[in-house]
Structure formats: structure tokens, C-alpha cells
Amino acid sequence: MANNINPAILTATDLEVHYGEQIVLNKANLSVHEGDRIGLVGRNGAGKSTFLKIISDVLKPDLGSIAMKKDLRIGFLTQEFTLDDSK
């Protein structure tokens, strides 16, 4: 996946997220390089949405860091939605 010739546009280092005693992310690491195409795959509760919320700056990790290329924009569509009962 990683193309080490191109510069990293996003690097996540040692991300940790806990909900009470449940560990959702435990020292998660990821580097995304220019031109990469990525997909997050895992069982329910594995931390996929949590990870996307962290890199979208919607959620802060308990530990770890995110470094992004200046002016990088990340789009994220949540899986939670509400219906308009008036329609």
C-alpha cells in the first residue's frame, strides 16, 4: 500500500482510544502517502469509525499524534443520520 517514493500526507502514530475499560485503538499507526488509495476493514467495534473521526478532527485520541500535510482536507460522511419526520 505505502508508496515510500511519495511524501507522507498523513501520519498517525501510537493512537489510543479507550471507552471506559474497552480499548478501541491500541497504539494504532498509519502512514498515507501521496497517491495512496486506502480502505479500512475490520469487525464491528474494531475502531474504524473512531479512527476516521480522529483524522477528521472530530474526536481527539487519548494518546498518540496525527501529522498532516499543510492544507490537507479530509472528507468524512458519518454513519449516524436522522430522518426528518415532517417529510
Structural fold of domain 8-68: Rossmann fold (3.40.50)
Q: Could you tell me the pTM of the whole model?
A: 0.76
CA distance 23 to 60: 15
Q: Domain residues of the chain, as ranges?
A: 8-68
Residue with cell 517514493: 5
Q: Is the pLDDT of residue 80 over 80?
A: no
- pLDDT (tens digit per residue) in 32-73: 999 898 888 999 988 999 999 999 999 999 999 999 999 988
What is the predicted pLDDT for the residue at 74?
83
CA 68 to centroid of chain Cα atoms: 12
Q: What is the mean pLDDT of the chain?
A: 88
Nearest to 14 by CA among 51, 59, 64: 64
